[in-house]
Structure formats: C-alpha cells, structure tokens
Structure 1
Amino acid sequence: MNLLLLGATGRVGRFILDYALTDGHTVTALVRSPDKLDDFASQYGTQLQIVQGDATNAKDIAQALKGGPAVVISALNTDGTTTLSVSTGLLIRLMQEQSIHRLITVGTAGILQSRTEPSLYRYESSDTRRRSTRAAEEHRRVYELLRESALDWTIVCPTYLPDGGRTGVYRVEKDFLPEDGSQITTADTADFTYRQWKSCDFIRTRVGIAY
C-alpha cells in the first residue's frame, strides 16, 4: 500500500511511520525538515519518499499526493496556530479532486461529546480540567470541515498523551472517551491510528481512545 503521512516527525507520527514501514508499505512523508527522518531514510531507502514542504501550502500537498496514495494520515500538531484547519481544508479539496477518499487524523479528546452534558463537547463541559481551549477549538474546526466533506474520514481522539511504548491493549469508543479513561501513550495512539487504514469500524466519526 502507498500511504501519505503528514506530521511524520512528531511524537505520534514517528510511530505511525515506523509501523507502516515495518509492515512493508511505501510511505510518502511531507515534512518541513527532512533531516529529522535521516534514520528512517537510511534504513528503508526508496520505501520512504520524503517531500520537503509545508502542510499549509497547496502546491506542497499536491506534490505529496502525486504518488496516488490509497490512504492519507495526518498526525500534525496544532502548534498554537491554524495549521490543522488550513491543512485539512486543502487536503479535502485536493483529495477529492484526485478521488482519494480515506483520511485518518489525530485529534483530541476535547472534541468528543461530554458524558455529563451530551449536548456539549468535552472541552466545553466540566469533563475536562484544561483552562485553555485554543487547541480544542482548532481540532473542532477540523472536525466540522471533515463532517461537511465527502471523504471517508476518521478522527482518533486521545486523552492525555504521555510518551510510552506500544501495548496494543486499550479501549476505544465512538464519539465519547472511554469511561474513566485518563491517558494513552503516543505509541498506542499511533498503533490504533495506523490500524484504521484497513478498518471500516469508524468511518466518518470521531473515536475516543484511552486505557
């Protein structure tokens, strides 16, 4: 399979890249700093195609999509700006133009529904203790863009994300964070996100993930 990965140098993205390459897939990674993937490039050679560019630049995304990937995965961070929503808007347009349908993104548990106040997102309710809502609001914009698109999308929504290894054992739930879920490692978040390319269980929905 040919896969396009955005955010390949990030805390979750590097694990997704590792899993996909280890499984023998061809991966195109759109990154601003290719040198951050030197270790993968030396190990996997032409199995990894690196495109230097910006995920908020339409020409760079178009270049990365030229290989005709079957799946696009975005593990981009919010970085305190509108990177996610701008990138997602461009992806939607360019993927639809090329009839590429499957998009999997990493979001945040803040945009899942509240258990105590189901009409609200978690970040709007007493379910969360976070004071700043900036990142959640950006993820919400991404969700709203995808919901209005024709893509087969999935938003993986982890709660607190400490560094840690892959166990492959975690709980997931459509639209809600698993009850009493308090954390999930970067490696296990990547594990579930990566596995969605061959799953139809969460098409066009958010999915909460936690231990």
Structure 2
Amino acid sequence: MKILMLGLTGRVGSKMAEYVLEDGFYLHALVRSPEKIPPNLNQRISYTKGDVLHKNDVVQSIKECDLVVSALSTDGANVLSESIPILVEAMKKEGISRIITIGTAGILESRAEPGVLRYQSSESKRTLTRAAEDHHKAFTILEESGLDWTIVCPTYLPDGEATGVYRIEKDYLPEEGSRITTGDTAHFTFSLLKEPRFLQSRVGLAY
C-alpha cells in the first residue's frame, strides 16, 4: 500500500511515519521544506517538494497512492479549510476514497450543550477559536465529500512516547479526558490503517 502523508515534519506526522515504515508500507510525502524531514526518515521515503495549497503539487504527489493521511496543522492561517477542497478533488480524480486526518477535540460534540461543538460551548477553555474554526470548516467539507474519512480528535497534545493505553469515543471526547501524547495520537491513527474503523466519523482521543 502506498500512503500519501501531509504534515510529515510535524510532531504527530513524524511519529506516524515511523509506524508506517516499520510496518512495511510505502510512504510518499508532500513537504514544503525537505530539509526538515527527520534524518531517520529521510532515506526511507519519497517526497514531492511543494505546497498543499497548490493544486498541481497535490495532483503530482497523490499519483498512484492508495490512501491519504494528513497531520497538517492550521499553521496560523486557514491551511486546512483551503487545502481540503483541493485534496478531495485530487483524491476523487485518482480514485482514492480513504483519508485519515488529525483534527482537534474542539470539533467533537459537546456533552454540556447538545447540538453544538465543544469549541462553541462552555466545555472549551480556549478564548481564541480561530484554529478550531478552521478545523470545523475542514470537517464540514469532508462530511460532504462522500469519501471514507476519519478525523482523529486529540485533546491537549504534549510531546511524549506511545503507551498504547488510551480511551477513544466516536464523536465525543472521553469523559474527563484532559491530555494525550503525540506518540499515542500517532499510535491510534496508525491503527486505523490496519483496521478501517470509524468511517465518516470523528474520534475523540484522551487518557
């Protein structure tokens, strides 16, 4: 299986790439700055230098891939909501149906206020919502795409290795969940490659 990865050089993406390669998958990445590819990955992957906001770069990088994994962040702008339509179009033209992305717990359903998302409710402790709004727009686009998408939604995300022990819940954050490491977020995301669960769903992730 050939996987296209976006966000390879990020905190979750780089850990996810290690799992992918160790299991024998073929990994191709779209990266803006190849010099930021971790040394332990550099000789083990192929990549296209480019920008996820440029249609031609996405089209070039996605050729002959079977599945897309995106660990992109909002990057202080609207990268997610602006790139997802480009990616969806390219996937459909290439005949790729499966995409797994890393989102945020803010776009899960609120327990305290049914009918709204966590970032819109009293559950959210953040005063700034710009990043969550960008994730929300990306979620809406995927929801309407007809693709087999899954959005992994970790809560507070400190660096840390995988333990393999965590809680997951469809569409909601596990009760009283307050943190999950980058390692365990990558660990769970990788598990979705092995077993296609939670199709067309968000998944809350926490200890």
- Shorter-chain-normalised TM-score: which range? over 0.9
Give 1:135's match in structure 2, choosing from 120, 127, 131: 131
Give the alignment of 1:173-184 within 5 angstroms: 173-184=169-180
For structure 2, which runs of at least 5 residues remain unmatched after alignment? none
Find the counterpart in structure 2 of residue 55 from structure 1.
52
CA distance in 2, matches of 1:180, 1:90: 36
Q: 1:206 to 1:89 in 2, by over 3 A?
A: same
CA distance in 1, matches of 2:195, 2:23: 16
Two-structure CA RMSD over aligned residues (Å): 1.1
Contact 2:14/2:38, CA 8 A, preserved across alignment:
no
CA distance in 2, matches of 1:209, 1:84: 20
**What TM-score do the two structures reach when normalised by structure 2?**
0.97
Aligned residues: 207
Higher deviation after alignment, 193-202 or 175-184: 193-202
Identity, % of aligned pairs?
52
CA distance in 1, matches of 2:135, 2:38: 30
Instruction: Using the TM superposition, give the Cα deviation of residue 114 of structure 1 relative to its aligned residue in structure 2, in angstroms.
Output: 0.5
Find the counterpart in structure 2 of residue 166 from structure 1.
162
Find the counterpart in structure 2 of residue 75 from structure 1.
71
Give 1:95's match in structure 2, choosing from 91, 94, 110: 91
Instruction: Using the TM superposition, give the Cα deviation of residue 197 of structure 1 relative to its aligned residue in structure 2, in angstroms.
Output: 1.8
CA distance in 1, matches of 2:99, 2:144: 14
Find the counterpart in structure 1 of residue 4 from structure 2.
4
CA distance in 2, matches of 1:160, 1:86: 24
Given residue 183 of structure 1, which amino acid in structure 2 is its aligned partner?
R
CA distance in 2, matches of 1:128, 1:82: 20
Instruction: Give the secondary-structure state (helix, strand or coil) at the position aligned to 2:37.
Output: helix
Find the counterpart in structure 2 of residue 152 from structure 1.
148
Instruction: Give the secondary-structure state (helix, strand or coil) at the position aligned to 1:69.
Output: coil
Instruction: Using the TM superposition, give the Cα deviation of residue 97 of structure 1 relative to its aligned residue in structure 2, in angstroms.
Output: 1.1
Instruction: Using the TM superposition, give the Cα deviation of residue 148 of structure 1 relative to its aligned residue in structure 2, in angstroms.
Output: 0.4
Find the counterpart in structure 2 of residue 32 from structure 1.
32
CA distance in 2, matches of 1:53, 1:119: 39
